[in-house]
Structure 1
Amino acid sequence: MDALNPDNPPASLEPPPRPPRVWKFWGTALWGFLIFAAMFLGQVAVIVYRIIAQGGELSAAGITHVVADGLTISLSVLAGLPMVLLVLWFAIRRTRISFADYLGLRGTSWKNVIIGIVSLIVLVGAWDMVSRAAGREVTPGFMGDVLKSAQEHSALWLLVIAFAVAAPLWEELFARGWLYRGWSESRLGPYGAILLSSLVWTIMHLQYDWFFLCQVLTIGLLFGYLRFRTGSTWLTILLHGLNNLAATIQTWWLAGQ
């Protein structure tokens, strides 16, 4: 009789929905490998396309020649963004948590923005002082050649977009968004996640020598700490973009001296 009573409907036979879950250490690491592999494939596809478009050969010499081209670098960096977003979407969809919430894509206060900018200026300024005191270049030497090459192809604007917008977006979504979120909720905890995600981010910049890698690591630690304290990946994306834009302008200015 209860089945005919509208005030007492029968219990649903459907299983309850799975609760949201966060990928822990190994899940984050394995998906992180797939995210990086997708980004790498997107960039390689651009390089292969550029070699074929220029009538070159798929050889070590041909790859080296094209990779040093400013236009190719710009296009490859841009190609990495949609690939990263695609795999992130698949990975996060399985957690039943929204894309924005999982990656910390939330706003923050102007106070945090100012603190972040000032902290970054102090850190980068300190590294510049150390670099000058040691008689080293303030910016990596090859970056000047990349800028000149992009300018020759009338693609300097594209290089700026790639370095100051696309690269900060996918690198921060990967390191401070994906890696930090999963690892911070594992046994590593927030501080272990900050350190490990910063190390991974540093390894992604092996085109630099040891001195600039140390600088990248400290910037990564700063970004990771700000991600932890504010809960906002948008903040680190903004700071990363400003840092890359400032470095691009500085390199362009020094290359013109």
Structure 2
Amino acid sequence: MNISSGNNYHPVSAVLLSLAVFFIPLLFLYFVLGIVYGLDDSDTLKNLLQQNEVSLNSYGTDILIYPIEDNVMYLLSVPLQVLFISWLLKRKSIDPVHSLGLNFFDRKAFIYALILWILYFAFASLYGYVFEIEMPSDFFEYSKAVPVWMISIVFIIGAPIAEELLFRGYLYSQLKNTKLGINGTIFLTSLLWTGLHAQYDIDILFSLFFLGLVLGYVRYKYNSVYLAIAIHAIHNIQATIYILFFT
């Protein structure tokens, strides 16, 4: 079998497939969970997963959610997303190492990427201070409704791996050789990644968009999605520590 390393998708198709990679595993898992709930007459599992419910206000609309259930479903969806991406690449005979940027990085690259993140963090902190931007209180309530070990795994391991493989790995590789070019690809992947966090207020999304640009640049500059995962994880580590211990 010939293994291709090139781009095989139209930009719109690549974006739609990326959205499918993220949402289809989650929808499938929630569908299965609904069946399990229906078969469990004692509601034991439902009561376990839907404890500590939280009401979130998103753009003026109150939404009742179940943090433990949501995080369990997200964690279970991560390996399904990875398998989905692998299948998409295999059916097009695309080399996953080259396409996704599964290349290890050296210490020098890590230090430069870390410095870049520190500069971003300084900018984001100044931006938040000047414009008095704060995370909504119900977000902290949501995070603290989940066991510390679970929210830590989701924030520090699950989210960086899944999001970087999808946006800075798969989608980046399918867009970079189109008319968008590298700059357009970094911009669009950052924009779509930011949209994934649409539950936040617009001023917070603005800051997240710039983090996406940093992660996209790191992926491009060092040709390593592993490095983007590492920097994303570092960002989420500081966010997790702040949420759990300083709010």
- Quote the Cα distance in structure 2 between the aligned partners of 1:156 and 1:234: 25
Write out the 4+ residue segments of structure 1 that deviate beyond 6 Å after TM superposition: none
Contact 1:107 1:234 in 2 (8 A): yes
Deviation at 1:79, TM superposition (A): 2.0
Aligned to 2:58: none
Contact 1:103 1:173 in 2 (8 A): yes
- Quote the Cα distance in structure 2 between the aligned partners of 1:37 and 1:26: 17
Aligned to 2:122: 125
Identity %: 25
Aligned to 2:224: 232
Aligned to 1:191: 183
Q: Deviation digits for residues 8-60 of structure 1, max 9, x if unmatched?
A: xxxxxxxxx5562432324422322321232431563487467963368xxxx
Q: Which has the larger radius of gyration?
A: 1
Picking from 142, 146, 151, the partner of 1:146 is 142
Give 1 or 2: higher strand fraction: 2
In the comparison of the two structures, how many residue pairs are matched?
227
Picking from 195, 218, 241, the partner of 1:249 is 241
Q: Deviation digits for residues 77-119 of structure 1, max 9, x if unmatched?
A: 2022022112101100023233232210111121111111121
Q: Structure 2: state its 5+ residue gaps.
A: 56-61
> Given residue 38 of structure 1, which amino acid in structure 2 is its aligned partner?
I
| In the alignment, structure 1 residue 110 sits paired with structure 2 residue 129 | no
- Quote the Cα distance in structure 2 between the aligned partners of 1:148 and 1:33: 28
- Distance of aligned partners of 1:163 and 1:225 in 2 relative to their CA distance in 1, 3 Å threshold: same
| In the alignment, structure 1 residue 172 sits paired with structure 2 residue 168 | no
Aligned to 2:152: 160
- Distance of aligned partners of 1:75 and 1:45 in 2 relative to their CA distance in 1, 3 Å threshold: farther
- Backbone CA RMSD of aligned residues: 2.5
- Quote the Cα distance in structure 2 between the aligned partners of 1:176 and 1:75: 24
Deviation at 1:248, TM superposition (A): 0.9
| In the alignment, structure 1 residue 23 sits paired with structure 2 residue 15 | no
> Given residue 112 of structure 1, which amino acid in structure 2 is its aligned partner?
A
Contact 2:7 2:174 in 1 (8 A): yes
- Quote the Cα distance in structure 1 between the aligned partners of 2:151 and 2:203: 24
Contact 2:172 2:185 in 1 (8 A): yes
Q: Structure 1: state its 5+ residue gaps.
A: 1-16
Contact 1:172 1:236 in 2 (8 A): yes
